[in-house]
């Protein structure tokens, strides 16, 4: 048995040390013993994947998808596939929805999964008092009826992304009878799903241990045990993989990624994902000045940030639509122009000697170089006449502030849009009534409102492109880049990159 000195144990962190013990294995052992250990970049605030601010955190979906199944599945290439529903669609005039439920599935407690679970989950998600952050999507259909394995429902308001959301955030099926028996508190203590793994042990802010579901309808997973270690600090995640304590990690600094993937016994992949880095602009204080907003955008040299700070891993963007999204428009360009930024600020009475001042909030270690990127941006702003104070917050705090419309005038965030629809990027981020938006003005809301229920797909996408162009012209948000996700793992493993960014254990196998 390998022993650790006190200094070595401290360097690995408490979560690492405790998890190694509780997992019942050598702390530096590899996945060969049937246990896969993932040094994960975020904590798990809640086990319920359908309620509360954390439900719309793209990073946590890797955990949720391990325990629960979604109505509709999605492959690592983002293509939709059968999940707990095997088929689905609208009737010809799109006044009805229909869906066929998979048969022969059981919950983790051995009870049968039924169409009633699907209807209950959809109805619960649609209840605005139930805490689902996108209840306004689920409430667009209702009055469900069950006939055998088929469910039908009425379209209350046509929502073109209704079925897409079934493979996205909060699109999970929960057990009706069990949840009603134990309640929300009981479910947090002992959650069950139909997914490939079952919850075995959980220590808040330290680790989550899962055991394989031998009766999973998709086949037994490759590993008997999966341990998610919660390691928000990037330096600690690097130590986890370099020491051999964890088998795989993600979202580490790119210089460490380049170094570690060349190290004997390790491998790595870094491919573009559907996440984009952005800076929310809140329509308060100095951000009510269009010149300030546009100057802040023009002053950022995104290509330099990607090339120098991110070592080329990333794609600079000027709208909230990444190249893979349905409404991406390459003709919308804001561009880096420091002199133009100075001129805009001068028009409002600001200069490097008399700077405009505001706060910018950011995470630190949630995404590779997030804090350092904001530092670089603040330096670029200083040169043109913007003085910004940086405030660091945890990602959970961001959700809390955003839901209360209490973000600072500028706030960094990582926006995930694994279904690539403009409503789930530009729409929810920028539409005033959305709980995920902090920009609230009638001009933009009036442009967006008619697009939600547009049945003509070509007209709908064209409308969103027009919205994106207007947002860029007005400086209502600052898109930065599309991310490439760095993943480092032991060479004894094979990792399939997921374009959604969710590092699901089912996408990891023995090489």
pLDDT in tens, 369-393: 999 999 999 999 999 999 999 999 9
What predicted TM-score, i.e. pTM, was given to this entire model?
0.81
Q: What are phi and psi of 182, to 5 degrees?
A: -95, -20
Question: Which sign, positive or negative, has the C-alpha torsion 225, 189, 400, 232?
Answer: negative
% residues pLDDT > 70 (the chain)? 94
pLDDT of residue 206: 96
The predicted-structure confidence for 314-360, as pLDDT tens digits, reads as follows: 999 999 999 888 899 999 999 999 999 999 999 999 999 999 999 99
Q: If pLDDT is split at 50, 70 and 90, which confidence band does 455 have? A: confident
Give residue for tokens 């970049």. 41
Q: For residues 281 and 287, is the Cβ–Cβ distance under 8 A?
A: yes
Q: Which residue has the tokens 């001009």?
A: 443
Q: What pLDDT does 509 receive?
A: 95
- The three-state secondary structure class of 359 is strand
Residue 29 has pLDDT above 80, yes or no: no
Does the pLDDT value for residue 11 go beyond 70? no
At 31 the pLDDT is: 60
Lowest mean pLDDT among 26-30, 285-289, 318-322, 489-493: 26-30
What is the pLDDT averaged over residues 489-511? Answer: 95
Please state, in angstroms and as integers, the Cα–Cα distance from residue 305 to each residue in 390, 480, 509, following that order: 18, 9, 34
Q: What phi and psi values does residue 39 have, to the nearest 5 degrees?
A: -80, 105
pLDDT, position 441:
97
Question: What values do phi and psi take at 188, rounded to 5?
Answer: -65, -35
Give the residue-averaged pLDDT of 78-102. 96
CATH 3.40.190.10 matches 6-49+180-270+486-510: yes
Q: Measuring CA to CA, which residue among 164, 74, 159, 179 is closest to residue 116?
A: 179
Of residues 49, 494, 76, 12, the one with CA closest to residue 229: 12
Task: Determine the pLDDT at residue 215.
Answer: 95
Average pLDDT of the chain, as a whole number = 92
Question: What DSSP character marks residue 365?
Answer: S
Domain limits, the chain: 6-49+180-270+486-510, 69-177, 272-484
Asked whether 69 and 116 are in contact (CB, 8 A), the reply is no
Give the CATH fold of the 272-484 domain: Dipeptide-binding Protein; domain 3 (3.10.105)
| H, E, C per residue of 176-240 | HHHHHHHHHHHHHHCCCCCCCEEEEEEECCCEEEEEECCCCCCCCCCCCEEEEEECCCHHHHHHH
pLDDT at 57: 86
| The domains spanning 6-49+180-270+486-510 and 272-484 adopt the same CATH topology | no
Q: Residue 389: which H helix or E strand, with range? A: strand 386-392
**What residues contact residue 158 under an 8 Å CB cut-off, 6+ apart?**
94, 140, 453, 455
Number of helical H runs and strand E runs in the chain: 16, 19
CATH class, range 69-177: alpha beta
- Asked if residue 110 has pLDDT above 50, the reply is yes
pLDDT digits (tens, 9 = 90+) for 261-291: 999 999 999 999 998 999 999 999 999 999 9
Judge whether residue 20 has pLDDT over 60.
Answer: no
409-442 pLDDT per residue, tens: 999 998 989 998 999 899 999 999 998 899 999 9
Whether 249 and 487 have beta carbons less than 8 Å apart is answered as yes
Element of type H or E holding 342: helix 338-347
């Amino acid at each position: 048995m390998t022993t650790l000195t006190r200094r070595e144990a401290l360097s690995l962190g408490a979560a690492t040390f405790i998890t190694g013990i509780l997992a019942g294995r050598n702390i530096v052992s590899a996945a060969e013993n049937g246990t896969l250990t993932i040094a994960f970049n975020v904590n798990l605030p809640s086990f319920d994947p359908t309620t509360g601010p954390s439900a719309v955190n793209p990073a946590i979906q890797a955990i949720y998808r391990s325990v629960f199944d979604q109505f509709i599945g999605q492959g690592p290439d983002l293509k939709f596939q059968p999940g707990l529903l095997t088929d689905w669609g609208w009737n010809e005039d799109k006044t009805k929805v229909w869906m066929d439920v998979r048969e022969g599935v059981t919950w983790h407690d051995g009870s049968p999964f039924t169409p009633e679970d699907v209807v209950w989950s959809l109805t619960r998600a649609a209840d605005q008092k139930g805490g689902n952050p996108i209840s306004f999507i689920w409430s667009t259909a209702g009055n469900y009826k069950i006939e055998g394995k088929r469910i039908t429902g009425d379209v209350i308001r046509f929502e073109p992304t209704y079925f897409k959301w079934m493979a996205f955030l909060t699109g999970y099926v929960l057990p009706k009878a069990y949840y009603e028996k134990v309640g929300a508190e009981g479910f947090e203590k002992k959650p069950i799903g139909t997914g490939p793994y079952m919850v075995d042990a959980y220590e808040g802010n330290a680790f989550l241990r899962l055991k394989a579901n031998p009766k999973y309808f998709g086949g037994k997973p490759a590993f008997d045990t999966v341990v998610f270690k919660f390691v928000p600090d990037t330096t600690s995640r690097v130590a986890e993989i370099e020491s051999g304590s964890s088998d795989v990690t993600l979202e580490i600094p790119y210089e460490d990624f380049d170094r570690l993937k060349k190290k004997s016994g390790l491998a790595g992949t870094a491919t573009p994902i559907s996440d984009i880095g952005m800076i929310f602009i809140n329509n308060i204080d100095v951000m009510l000045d269009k010149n300030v907003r546009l100057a802040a955008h023009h002053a950022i040299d995104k290509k330099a940030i990607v090339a120098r700070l991110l070592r080329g891993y990333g794609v600079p963007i000027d709208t909230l639509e990444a190249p893979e999204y349905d409404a991406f428009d390459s003709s919308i360009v804001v561009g880096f122009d420091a002199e133009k930024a100075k001129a805009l600020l001068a028009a409002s009475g600001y200069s490097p000697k008399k700077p405009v001042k505001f706060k910018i909030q950011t995470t630190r270690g949630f995404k590779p170089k997030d804090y350092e990127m904001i530092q670089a941006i603040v330096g670029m702003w200083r040169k043109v006449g913007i003085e910004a104070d940086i405030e660091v917050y945890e990602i959970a705090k961001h959700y809390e502030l955003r839901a209360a419309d209490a973000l600072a005038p500028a706030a960094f965030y990582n926006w995930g849009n694994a279904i690539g629809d403009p409503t789930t990027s530009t729409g929810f981020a920028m539409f005033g009534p959305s709980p995920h938006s902090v920009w609230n003005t009638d001009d933009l809301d009036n442009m967006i409102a008619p697009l939600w229920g547009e049945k003509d797909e070509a007209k709908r996408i064209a409308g969103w492109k027009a919205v994106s162009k207007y947002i860029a012209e007005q400086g209502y948000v600052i898109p930065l880049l599309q991310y490439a996700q760095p993943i480092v793992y032991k060479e004894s493993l094979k990792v399939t990159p997921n374009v959604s960014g969710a590092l699901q254990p089912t996408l990891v196998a023995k090489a």
